[in-house]
Amino acid sequence: MEKTCLIGCTPTQLVELMASLGQKPYRAKQLQEWVWKHRVTSFDAMTNLPPALREQLAAQCSLRPLEVVEVSESTVGTTRKFLSRMQDGHLVESVIIPAAVGQGGVHSSRITLCVSSQVGCAFGCKFCASGLLGLTRNLTTAEIVGQIVAAEEISGTRVDNLVFMGMGEPLANMDNLLPALTIIMDEHSLNIGARHITISTSGNVPGLKKLAAFGRPLRLAVSLHGACDEVRNQIMPVNKKWPLSELIPALQEWTRTSKHKITLEYILIQDVNAMLPEVDKLARIAHLLNAKVNLIPYNTVEGLPWVRPSEAACRFFCKSLIAKGIPVTMRYEKGHDINAACGQLRLRKVQIPPH
């Protein structure tokens, strides 16, 4: 029988689990404290639970769903990636991004974590290392949550902000994403506020509707990358399934209930979407959605033909968009690091066998 990983259980599921063992709800509370407050990694450490119960739990449950197998070097204030091996040997990566240097040059201890939601991705965007691999499988709830627990163990600090911008399309894994979000937001579990969580989607319309129905004030980033169907069809097969004529109304619906602006992610790729006529189209969509735009100069992926435009060309595109009254950010270094999260480390290490 496969063991239930406790960091992938919602508070309600912990109560149900304890009830199935004939235990009262206060035992679930105690268990939750061991798992989340004390972050124990063994059942023996749960000293206020009777030994027989600890044994039962150890036989049926686990406490960590993944093992960190590689952490990139750390220098103060820099991004760190880590690679986790799931129990079946598959690998995913996550990226720890420190907050910007604060006033007076003091480094903040706050971190943003970029997590993966799937092993590979079925959406097959033509510029993306994850898309290149195809989908292997969804991450379980415990594996999504496990990346956050691992990041907190590695960094020795709490994750303040969470972005679903690693490998995979989070909205194609709703069954595991929603319970993961419940655990992540629960005040007695990870306690990260909905406003500090950004879900990034390439435009999965049914997923967006389900996420809206979930009813929490999460932040939304949309990987637009093309401001007309012609460009999007060329680089994002998902657009053939849910073209802009479906995506834009779904996003308008989202903005009706969300107080936060949507972020439109727009990778700049030479001769594909970085030409001046695209500025007008992008501005029109941003206006329509009252959204901000994040421009990301394309990160070269080995084996793919796409080219990052010159820095001058990126700056010109950015300036032209600003001139249209759109709030725009373009981050060279940090953006570069964040997007390197998208499957690129795994491509190199994908062959590690399970132990």
CB nearer ligand SAH, residue 49 or residue 268: 268
In whole angstroms, the minimum distance from the beta carbon of 275 to ligand SAH comes to 18
- Name which of ligand SAH, ligand SF4, none residue 232 binds, using a CB cut-off of 5 to 8 Å depending on partner kind: none
Counting contacts by CB under 6 A, is residue 94 touching ligand SF4? no
Among 14, 28, 53, 128, binds ligand SAH (CB under 6 A): 128
Told to check if 161 binds ligand SAH by CB under 6 A, we report no
Chosen from ligand SF4, ligand SAH, none, partner binding at 43 (C-beta under 5 to 8 Å by type): none
Q: Judged by CB under 6 A, which stretch of 33-41, 67-75, 196-204, 322-330 contacts ligand SAH?
A: 196-204
CA distances from 205 to 183, 219, 241, 250, 284 (A): 24, 16, 9, 7, 20
Q: How many helices (H) and strands (E) does the chain have?
A: 14, 14
Instruction: Quote the CA–CA distance of 240 and 255 in Å, as a whole number.
Output: 23
The three-state secondary structure class of 92 is strand
In the complex, the smallest distance separating the C-beta of residue 348 from ligand SF4, rounded to whole angstroms, is 17
Question: Is 114 considered catalytic here?
Answer: no
Token pair of 346, please?
């795994």
Query: What are the DSSP E strand ranges found in the chain?
Result: 4-5, 61-62, 66-71, 80-86, 91-98, 111-114, 118-120, 135-138, 159-164, 197-201, 219-223, 263-268, 292-297, 328-330
Please tell me whether residue 267 binds ligand SF4 under the rule CB under 6 A: no
Closest to 127 in 3D by CA, of 266, 327, 292: 266
Residue 285 interacting partner from ligand SF4, ligand SAH, none (CB closer than 5 to 8 Å by kind): none
Q: Which of 7, 103, 6 is nearest to 58 (CA)?
A: 6
CB of 208 to ligand SAH, least distance (A): 12
Binding segment toward ligand SF4, per CB under 6 A, in 35-43, 61-69, 124-132, 181-189: 124-132
Question: Residues 143, 265, 278, 337: which binds ligand SAH (CB under 6 A)?
Answer: 265
Is residue 317 close enough to count as binding ligand SAH by CB under 6 A?
no
Q: For the residues of 46-66, what is the DSSP string, one character each?
A: -TTS-HHHHHHHHHHEES-SE
Nearer to ligand SAH, 31 or 224 (CB): 224
Token pair listed for 162: 């969470």
Locus of tokens 């999260």: 341
Catalytic residue among 93, 169, 265, 278: 93
9 catalytic per annotation? no
Query: Measured between alpha carbons, how far is residue 89 from residues 107, 136, 246, 255 in Å?
Result: 36, 12, 38, 40
Binding-site size, ligand SAH (CB under 6 A)? 18
Token look-up 């009706």 returns 256
The Cβ of residue 109 has, within 10 Å, a number of other Cβ atoms equal to 12
Q: Which of 30, 141, 161, 223 binds ligand SAH (CB under 6 A)?
A: 223
Which neighbouring-strand residues pair with 264?
A: 222, 293
Give min distance, CB of 130 to ligand SF4, in A.
Answer: 4
Retrieve residue 89's tokens: 């040997």
Q: Which two tokens stand for residue 164?
A: 């679903």
With respect to ligand SF4, which residue has the nearer C-beta, 65 or 131?
Answer: 131
Q: CA nearest 37: which of 193, 176, 158? A: 158
Positions that interact with ligand SAH (CB under 6 A)? 121, 127-128, 165, 169, 200-202, 223, 225, 265, 267, 296, 298-299, 301, 339, 342
| Active-site amino acid positions | 93, 342
Positions that interact with ligand SF4 (CB under 6 A)? 121, 123-125, 128, 130-131, 168-169, 202, 223, 342
